[in-house]
Structure 1
Amino acid sequence: MNSRTFLRIMLLSGLAIPFASAAALPDTEKKKIESLISHLESLKGSKFNRNGKDYDPATAAKFLRGKWDANKDSILTAKDFIAKAATKSGTTGKPYLITLKAGGPQTPCADYLGERLKELEK
């Protein structure tokens, strides 16, 4: 192997390492995301509104886990999860809303989860 080939191999190997590690979701962020979803799932009596239709907490959690999985390559932090998976419909652009109790006000899901994330990070 000549020095030029060796240099190319070393250069390509060195470039691959940062990209491989950048694509991996850190365990701390994964735990935060799961905590956010589990928190929504535990909100008995709440409603998750997506595209004008209300869903129970278990259905909302299942949907958000699916959206997280579908966007896993671009979600590297809990903030990414909120921005890319839990803010709005990718189809209609309508914001996801959460109602914590019957007759209560609707809150943008991104705002609610953002506050919850701040609590988790304290």
Structure 2
Amino acid sequence: MKRILCLGLLLVSTVCVASTKQEIETMLDTLRHSDCQFERSGTWYSGKRAAEHLKDKWDYAKDEVDSSETFIKEVASGSWLLGNQYHVKCQDTTTTSEQWLTEQLQIIRSKS
């Protein structure tokens, strides 16, 4: 019985990791292909450059990221060094990257 329970927990854990990875990759891909601009530390970057930066941060912190929400809050919402929030500007609307990515995550999940 313990073996079956452990195997079941392992399978659920693997599915959650795969799902989290897919969600994060989809959020980064959405940013990469958007016409939005991404601000960090006072400088505006293209969505492509922003996605590359966030992927680098994610690669560094992957072992600590157990959910898409953790990725958004702990990795993609601001500078680790300076503590500044990141912002996303799409057309005439500017918001925090945390808000923008949370909205993207809701869209991704609504399509699942």
TM-score w.r.t. the length of structure 1 is 0.75
- Equivalent of residue 28 in structure 1, options 9, 14, 19: 19
> How many residue pairs end up in the alignment?
100
Q: Quick one: which amino acid aligns to residue 28 of structure 1?
A: S
| Structure 1 stretches lacking a partner, 5+ long | 1-17
How far did 1:115 drift? 1.1
Is 1:106 aligned to residue 94 of structure 2?
Answer: yes
Which structure is higher in helix share?
Answer: 2
Unaligned runs of 5+ in 2: 1-8
Deviation (angstroms), 1:105: 3.0
Which residue number corresponds to residue 39 of structure 2? 49
Q: Deviations over 1:7-36 (max 9, x none)?
A: xxxxxxxxxxx9xx97xx711110000000
Q: Quote the offset at 1:57 in angstroms.
A: 1.1
Post-superposition, which runs of at least 4 consecutive aligned residues in structure 1 deviate over 2 A? none
Q: 2:87 aligns with which of 84, 97, 109?
A: 97
Percent identity at matched positions?
A: 27
Q: Which residue, 19, 37, 40 being the options, matches 2:28? A: 37
State which structure, 1 or 2, has the greater radius of gyration over its C-alpha atoms: 1
- After TM superposition, the score normalised by the length of structure 2 is 0.81
